[in-house]
Amino acid sequence: MRVRAGIIVAVLMAFGVACGSNDAERSRLDVMAASSLATAFEILESEFEAANPDIDVRVTSGSSSNLALQIENGAPADVFASADESTMTKVAGFLVPDYRVFATNELQIMVAPGNPKNIRSLADLQADDLIVITAQEGVPIRGYTDEVLTRAGVVANFRSFEANVGGIVTKITNGAADAGIVYRTDVIATGSRASGVDIPAEQNVVARHPIAVLTSSTRRDDAAAFVAFLQGLGRDTLRELGFGTP
Amino acid sequence: MKTSRSTRRVDDGAPWPVIVVATLTIVFFALPFIGLLGRTPWSDLFDVLGESRVRTALWLSIRTSVTSASASLLFGVPLAWVLARGRFPGRSAVRALCTMSMVLPPVVGGVALFFSFGRQGVFGRFLDDWFSFQFTFSVWGVILAQTFVAMPYLVLTVEAAIRQADARYEDAARSLGGSRWYVFRRITVPAIRPALVAGVVLAWARALGEFGATITFAGNFPGTTQTMSIATYLALDTDAREALVLSVVMIATSFAVLFGLRDRWMGAATGTTR
């Protein structure tokens, strides 16, 4: 019994050490980013930290609607990047005026690599034997998806409403679902694990990703520096990842 | 020996520091529920419960959790018997394997199920090839995920009871010519009946509350895979009122279950430590 307790204590301590932080002298900057921006922000984070060695950026990602809820409930973050402007407007009272659109995006239909089900257009999503998924209401990609489907006059037969874009991407790249409308940058980020089908320009919408400093931030200079970085040096990276930069 | 000692004990109550800490602990457990109940929109409780979305989720949760609890009973009792009475090498390792899903973060269980039984999973691909069947996005995915996380509660409860039951009654019945099935039915089952009830109810409650493995593995669609727990979590982003009402329903259920079970569960728990 004593040996077993010893093992448990050792495991817990190892866990604690692994989680411990060793960079107490760097000031921390908490950034909340929509899950569609998570991959981009990981890259931008290390670029920004390389240029500002005294700042330690921590990125939290989730659906924009969930992050907005956390902000409304006093989450101690410094910067918020949402996938759409309407979510940003919802938390307007918590923003240092005003938010800026730092990147734009297009929508694509994400399908399995090589498009084995031969999906060519939005109209093809109506087929009964296809498993098409989207996100739940309130999540920006769902709003954009509904908009393009309405423009195309298509009623898709959705089989699941995931919590965020990440859920759609995971289920398609792992073959559980056949198709879903996501951001073009999501398709690019998955590399060879998925293919994208273009949506004609007259049916497509431009997704606008806004960013803002939060009023709850105690490090507003650092936060402003991060926002300025995305609109300056970070633009090349954003373009490489497939975003548009206004 | 034991009884004489307990009768000789001086009953002067618990020491005051213990009472202080225990009171703080009770407050710690009570506050979150008080906070939640304080924010609950009681006046439109029934309006929200009447919404078709909520009723659909409620009905799906009832159906799937009852099915999962039944599956846990059907498959869990033989496993519990083998773990309690079987003599084979590596029994502890087998027990650890079969009850691991109880302590794992449920979402890890969901990831494991997804990569094993998903349409392109290690085993799931054969289901798709041979029967055009896939667990993901179907009610069977929900049941599989719930059974996976809920069954260990039944197995551990029943195993403890079988260990505790006096095997000599079974031996006596066997020596008097009772068949193994007869002895199991007439001697073993009556002896462990409280644990069977407790195990089924605990497994059912766990299945009802299951969230992480379900959303990871089965997806989210009203009427098919959107259970109460998933609806609660997702409603928080869009309609907090709905999330609060759904939470109240589940809190009431959980409290009723645990309150109703208090003696049975405690009895089984003592059995494990013996």
What is the interface pTM, i.e. ipTM, of the complex? 0.73
Which of B149, B95, B141 has the alpha carbon at shortest distance from B114? Answer: B141
Domains and their CATH numbers in chain A: 25-104+209-240 (3.40.190.10), 107-198 (3.40.190.10)
Nearest-neighbour CA in chain A from B143: distance (Å):
16
Distance CA B214, CA B135 (A): 11
CATH code of the region B42-273: 1.10.3720.10
| Residue A158 forms contact with B (CB below 8 Å) | yes
Chain segment B176-222, per-residue pLDDT in tens: 888 888 888 888 888 899 899 999 999 999 999 898 889 888 989 98
| Residue A131 forms contact with B (CB below 8 Å) | yes
| pLDDT string in tens for chain A (246-residue length) | 455 666 666 666 655 555 544 455 788 999 999 988 998 999 999 999 999 999 999 999 988 988 998 998 888 899 999 999 999 999 999 999 889 999 999 999 999 999 999 999 999 999 988 999 999 988 899 999 999 999 999 999 899 999 889 889 999 998 899 999 999 999 999 999 999 999 999 999 999 999 999 999 999 999 999 999 999 999 999 999 999 998
What does the domain layout of chain B look like in residue ranges? Answer: 42-273
Is pTM, for the whole model, over 0.80?
A: no
Which of A85, A72, A75, A95 has the alpha carbon at shortest distance from A34? Answer: A85
CB contact under 8 A, A136 and B238: yes
Chain A, window 96-125: residues with a beta carbon less than 8 angstroms from a chain B beta carbon:
none
Interface test with B, best of A4, A133, A161 (most B CBs within 10 A): A161
* Bridge partners, residue A133, by sequence: A160
Please compute, for residue B24, the number of CA atoms within 13 A of its CA located in the half-sphere on the CB side. 5
Read off the DSSP letter of residue A175. Answer: T
Closest CB to B221: pick one of A65, A139, A159.
A159
Q: Which chain A positions have a beta carbon within 8 Å of B220's beta carbon?
A: 136, 160-163
Specify whether the backbone of A176 is left (phi greater than 0), alpha (psi in -120 to 50) or beta. Answer: alpha
Closest CB to B237: pick one of A69, A131, A175.
A69
Nearest-neighbour CA in chain A from B89: distance (Å):
20
Task: Count the neighbouring beta carbons within 10 Å of the beta carbon of residue A141.
Answer: 29
**Rg of chain A on CA atoms, in Å:** 20
Which of B77, B106, B104, B110 has the alpha carbon at shortest distance from B188? Answer: B77
Q: What is the secondary structure of A207-245 as a DSSP string?
A: EEEEEEEBTT-S-HHHHHHHHHHHHTTHHHHHHHTT-B-
